[in-house]
Chain A
Amino acid sequence: QQPVQSPQAVILREGEDAVINCSSSKALYSVHWYRQKHGEAPVFLMILLKGGEQKGHEKISASFNEKKQQSSLYLTASQLSYSGTYFCGTALTGNQFYFGTGTSLTVIP
């Protein structure tokens, strides 16, 4: 039931763009995106709701395709501070919240 993310890992140079994908085998009603730095707790980035509403980060955008049960996170003009592990997450059954498999992003100078 855990959403699957791709790629598993990506290395970028500062200023480059990246896309992280999240796919679910079950219907998605909303998708959350979080970033976690090593040794720290996850931090909220973005929430996408059915119907197109989005709430979140100014410099990060995301899309949500309800029919394909997929979401993508777009990181543009990456900065060193973007490094970390990115997780999508969703409530698939009732109130159980599932995080995706994670994508490790490393931004180098």
Chain B
Amino acid sequence: DTGVSQDPRHKITKRGQNVTFRCDPISEHNRLYWYRQTLGQGPEFLTYFQNEAQLEKSRLLSDRFSAERPKGSFSTLEIQRTEQGDSAMYLCASRPDHNEQFFGPGTRLTVL
């Protein structure tokens, strides 16, 4: 257990539905990342927060994806109008300045 938690751990949804995932980072870590990982691939960067500010967002991220980190604590990732191609493991990681990232256990999304 790295100290980073994610909820839910598994989510099954029907195509077209909206889903929201939550990440609780290690409390003193001001930096937070969201990644998506599909089978056999490495984690793919989605977005980055420093405190409450979303400083980076992947160009691959469609408008259906949005993320927030109110008050610089927990973060949420929402996917609207889910598609089958959104099925993946969604990973959250936090870190202090210039150090390693601590990953949460991930949320596995299955879109039927």
Contacts and interface: CB of A to CB of B under 8 A. Distances in A.
B20 interface: no
Interface stretch (B11-19, B42-50, B63-71, B79-87): B42-50
Contacts of A81: none
Contacts of B104: 41
A94 B22 CA distance: 25
A44 B102 contact: yes
Contacts of B35: 99
**Which of B48, B50, B101 has the most chain A CB atoms inside 10 A of its CB?**
B101
A55 B95 CA distance: 15
A98 B101 contact: no
Chain B, interface size: which category?
A: 20 to 34
Contacts of A89: 42
Chain A, interface size: which category?
A: 20 to 34
Contacts of B102: 44
Nearest to A88: B42
Contact of B100 (A44, A96, A98): A44
A43 B100 CA distance: 9
A49 B99 CA distance: 10
Interface string B1-32: 01000000000000000000000000000010
Given A41-B105, A44-B100, A99 B42 contact: yes
List the 7 closest pairs (A to B, CB-CB), nearest first.
A99-B42, A41-B103, A44-B100, A95-B48, A95-B56, A102-B42, A99-B43
Interface of A: 2, 30, 32, 40-44, 47, 49, 55, 87, 89, 94-102
